[in-house]
């Protein structure tokens, strides 16, 4: 089961936090602007004693492909 928590559009960071429940693992997606807000999300979420993992990534529509692409690297090389 996935719950998506979006307070505002186009936040910079995305955290997927997975918790252990009686029904199995439960993942919750959070979007936020400042990385320093992550601790508040964890503290106010389900009991952090049941936290399995927290994966934080930049919230990009291309899942970071453009950032790491060869095309982007070549374009940046040409601009210097």
Instruction: Choose among 59, 51, 55: nearest CA to 31.
Output: 59
Q: Estimate to the nearest angstrom the gap between the alpha carbon of 27 and the chain centroid.
A: 11
13: left (phi over 0), alpha (psi -120 to 50) or beta: beta
Show the domain range for 33.
2-79
Average model confidence (pLDDT) for the chain? 82
What does pTM read for this prediction? 0.65
The list of the chain residues with pLDDT below 50 reads 1, 6-8
């Amino acid at each position: 089961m996935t719950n998506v928590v979006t307070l505002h559009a186009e936040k910079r960071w995305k955290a997927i936090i997975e918790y252990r429940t009686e029904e199995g693992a439960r993942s919750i997606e959070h979007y936020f602007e400042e990385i320093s807000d992550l601790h508040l999300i964890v503290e106010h979420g389900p009991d952090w004693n049941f936290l399995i993992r927290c994966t934080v990534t930049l919230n990009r529509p291309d899942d970071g492909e453009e950032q790491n692409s060869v095309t982007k690297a070549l374009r940046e090389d040409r601009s210097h």
